[in-house]
Amino acid sequence: GAGVSQTPSNKVTEKGKYVELRCDPISGHTALYWYRQSLGQGPEFLIYFQGTGAADDSGLPNDRFFAVRPEGSVSTLKIQRTERGDSAVYLCASSLGEPQETQYFGPGTRLLVL
Amino acid sequence: AQSVTQLDSQVPVFEEAPVELRCNYSSSVSVYLFWYVQYPNQGLQLLLKYLSGSTLVKGINGFEAEFNKSQTSFHLRKPSVHISDTAEYFCAVILTGGFKTIFGAGTRLFVKA
């Protein structure tokens, strides 16, 4: 079956612009996670959804970052007024729901802010 | 605050040699422990996980890890590595009762012929 997909695979934008990153989880997975991975680092937790609601958004770095999952499936990570420091690979993962369940990761979106 | 430390950023090893990738964590409550692997140009995938019970956990591709509560460690081992094991390995924890996954910085395993 299809895995987690993310679009676009690469995004180049200018400082100050708005970007949206999309994640399509595995069908039937109720849990969805967003992470940010900078060069040479491990993934950094941003936000976790259970169904449509953000159950834990403690990892969002500031109010420029926002994520939605309106129908409990596809999720969009939105970044306003992008800064050069936002450049990273943004990863999405989905799972069946419980924290001990395996997370299945997408290939990531590489964001470059010029 | 919880944290995960992977003690080696890079581990070079010859093919068919044994390898151990070290992981220590800090937490005041019980945790679930995971090892993920990222092969070149591929996404992260789960190698193995410890939830409870036996402290020795076996995973895919011949890897195993041992949970040591007193030393707060979860080291990954393989008795004989292959060239195809060359990848980045990440240790991760989730506090029981929570969902936030904390990853280590990763260890790059480089297997030489």
CATH code at B71? 2.60.40.10
Please tell me the class of the A9-98+106-113 domain: mainly beta
Q: Which of A97, A108, A110 is nearest to A51 (CA)?
A: A97
Task: Answer whether B74 touches A (CB < 8 Å).
Answer: no
Domain that holds residue B92: 3-112
* Inter-chain touch B98–A99, beta carbons under 8 Å: yes
pLDDT at res. A40: 87
* The two structure tokens encoding residue B99: 């969902």
Which stretches in chain A have pLDDT values below 50? Answer: none
Q: What's the domain count of chain B?
A: 1
* Inter-chain touch A48–B45, beta carbons under 8 Å: no
pLDDT at res. A6: 97
Nearest beta carbon to residue A42 from set B45, B97, B103: B103
* The two structure tokens encoding residue A73: 């499936």
pLDDT at res. B2: 79
* The two structure tokens encoding residue B40: 């070149």
Chain B residue numbers with beta carbons less than 8 Å from the beta carbon of A48 are 99-100
pLDDT at res. A65: 97
Percent of chain B past pLDDT 90, that is, above it, reads: 81
Nearest beta carbon to residue A42 from set B46, B90, B100: B90
Task: Answer whether B33 touches A (CB < 8 Å).
Answer: no
Mean pLDDT, rounded, for B91-97: 90
Q: Residue B16 — very low, low, confident or very high, per pLDDT cuts 50/70/90?
A: very high
pLDDT at res. B42: 87
Chain A residue numbers with beta carbons less than 8 Å from the beta carbon of B32 are 99-100
Residue B17 reports pLDDT greater than 80 = yes
Instruction: Report how many Cβ contacts below 8 Å link chain A to chain B.
Output: 63
* Inter-chain touch B105–A41, beta carbons under 8 Å: yes
* Inter-chain touch A99–B104, beta carbons under 8 Å: no
Residue B54 reports pLDDT greater than 80 = yes
* Inter-chain touch B101–A43, beta carbons under 8 Å: yes
Least confident of A78-82, B10-14, B96-100: B96-100
Name the average pLDDT for chain B: 93
- In A1-114 the beta strands, taken as DSSP E runs, fall at 5-7, 10-13, 19-24, 31-37, 44-50, 53-56, 65-68, 75-79, 88-95, 104-105, 109-113
Residue B19 reports pLDDT greater than 90 = yes
Residue B85 reports pLDDT greater than 60 = yes
How far is the C-alpha of B57 from the C-alpha of B63, rounded, in Å? 9
Task: With beta carbons less than 8 A apart as the criterion, state whether A45 and A20 touch.
Answer: no
* Inter-chain touch A93–B44, beta carbons under 8 Å: yes
pLDDT at res. A1: 57
Decide the pairing of beta strands B10-14 and B107-112: parallel
Task: Answer whether B102 touches A (CB < 8 Å).
Answer: yes
